[in-house]
Amino acid sequence: MPHDHHDNHLDPMDARVRALETILTTKGLIDPAAVDAIVETYAERVGPQNGAAVVARAWTDPEFADWLTRDATAAVASMGFTGRQGEHMRAVFNTPGLHHVIVCTLCSCYPWSLLGLPPVWYKSPPYRSRVVIEPRAVLAEFGLVLPEETQIRVWDSTAELRYLVVPMRPEGTEGWSAEALAELVTRESMIGTGIARAPEGVA
Ligand code: FE
């Protein structure tokens, strides 16, 4: 029989989650269909397009950008994006001299309501430990090579406070609508392991 490693090898967190779901279901405390519905919501309906809409609005609406700087939780909620656990949001803005990156060194805290499900690498122990120690090297592995003079700041997310990176608006997008700009905002650019896409035809 072929041995399929992925089916048989649960990581400890997956195993704990499965065990908890089984116990809660057996005791009649949760309905597995409800759990599936929540997972489906985050997998298919809540995704990086929410965060991209926030970033594009900040690029085009200085008053909103100011609000996002002062009180990201309220600014983001005004667009209909709120966290399930009521966690607070903080937006950190990239500049030519300062680049922000987010991580959760303890587990996998992530701005779900804005970015959907976290990528697998975000939860991986190497990313969580190394990005704090050698962010420039880790970013280079993502294909992001920043100028030497650009400072990198790493933000450690928690259950209470989660971060959104607002990437710099790409050049050559003067006069673009927020809707068109949102197409340039990638998930990686809002984690800080990437930057916003350049528009077609702009190097
Ligand atoms: Fe966490």
- Please indicate, yes or no, whether the overall pTM of this predicted structure exceeds 0.85: no
Q: Name the band, by pLDDT with cuts 50, 70 and 90, for residue 106.
A: very high
104 in active site: yes
Distance CA 43, CA 94 (A): 27
Mean predicted confidence (pLDDT) in 109-113: 90
Catalytic option among 78, 109, 113, 124 = 109
Catalytic option among 78, 108, 129, 189 = 108
Say how many Å lie between the CA of residue 172 and the centre of ligand 1.
Answer: 37
Does residue 20 have a pLDDT over 50?
yes
Distance CA 127, CA 139 (A): 10
Say how many Å lie between the CA of residue 107 and the centre of ligand 1.
Answer: 4
Q: Name the band, by pLDDT with cuts 50, 70 and 90, for residue 24.
A: confident
Say how many Å lie between the CA of residue 26 and the centre of ligand 1.
Answer: 28
Does residue 157 have a pLDDT over 80?
yes
Burial 29-55, CB ≥16 within 10 A → b, else e = eeeeeeeeeeeeebeeebbbebbbbbb
Say how many Å lie between the CA of residue 162 and the centre of ligand 1.
Answer: 9
Say how many Å lie between the CA of residue 13 and the centre of ligand 1.
Answer: 12
Tell me which H or E stretch contains 156: strand 151-156
Distance CA 137, CA 144 (A): 9
157 in active site: no
Q: Which amino acid is at 171?
A: E
Least confident piece of the model among 20-29, 36-45, 141-150:
36-45
108 in active site: yes
Say how many Å lie between the CA of residue 117 and the centre of ligand 1.
Answer: 13
Location of structure tokens 């991580």: 103
Three-state SS at 129: helix
Catalytic option among 104, 113, 157, 189 = 104
Residue 3 or 140, more confident? 140
Q: What's the first-to-final CA gap in the chain, in angstroms?
A: 51
Say how many Å lie between the CA of residue 179 and the centre of ligand 1.
Answer: 31
